């Protein structure tokens, strides 16, 4: 929502990230925007107890490549969640539509295939100013929001595993 500050949240409603690890894939395209989102995500993770060595950052050329970068994290690492950070700005052609659809579908598929949180931190804006407003500007930082979402989803998955693994052990 255009009036919502993406960085405004209740700190106390976010679980402790102390024992969590995160992979962040960031697009080099529109790096003025995505770099600011990356800084926001990393700072937010640290603020919630995630150790610097438990945050791995990899860069890809553009937003379309985010999902393959995410798949590499899922396949080659043991991170608890993957954050995809990108920015697609509307141009004069339909390229915007194809990139947005591909990245959205790819992120959803990664969530399902690897059964771990893959967070969609991709801005899809009409212009550069809207992107800057959401990357540390007047609407906060989508990177902050993506980091908070990642922590919450890892905690949710941990609760499910604890609740249902415990039940399975009781049956044996």
Report the catalytic residues: 95
140-141 and 135-137 beta bridge pairing: antiparallel
Contacts (Cβ under 8 Å, ≥6 apart) of 38 = 24, 26, 57, 85, 143
Distance CA 141, CA 6 (A): 5
- Reference 147, options 93, 100, 99, 81; nearest CA is 81
Distance CA 51, CA 55 (A): 7
């Amino acid at each position: 929502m255009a009036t919502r500050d993406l960085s405004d949240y209740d700190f106390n409603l976010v679980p402790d990230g102390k024992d969590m690890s995160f992979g962040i894939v960031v697009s080099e395209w529109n790096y003025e925007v995505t770099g600011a989102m990356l800084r926001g995500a990393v700072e937010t993770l640290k603020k919630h107890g995630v150790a610097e060595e438990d945050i791995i950052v990899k860069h890809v050329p553009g937003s379309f490549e985010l999902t393959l970068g995410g798949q590499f994290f899922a396949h080659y690492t043991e991170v608890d969640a993957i954050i995809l950070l990108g920015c697609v700005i509307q141009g004069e052609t339909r390229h915007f539509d194809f990139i947005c659809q591909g990245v959205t579908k790819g992120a959803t598929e990664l969530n399902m295939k690897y059964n771990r949180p893959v967070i969609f931190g991709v801005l899809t804006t009409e212009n550069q100013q809207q992107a800057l407003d959401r990357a540390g500007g007047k609407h906060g930082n989508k990177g902050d929001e993506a980091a908070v979402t990642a922590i919450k989803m890892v905690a949710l998955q941990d609760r499910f595993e604890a609740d249902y693994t415990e039940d399975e052990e009781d049956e044996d």
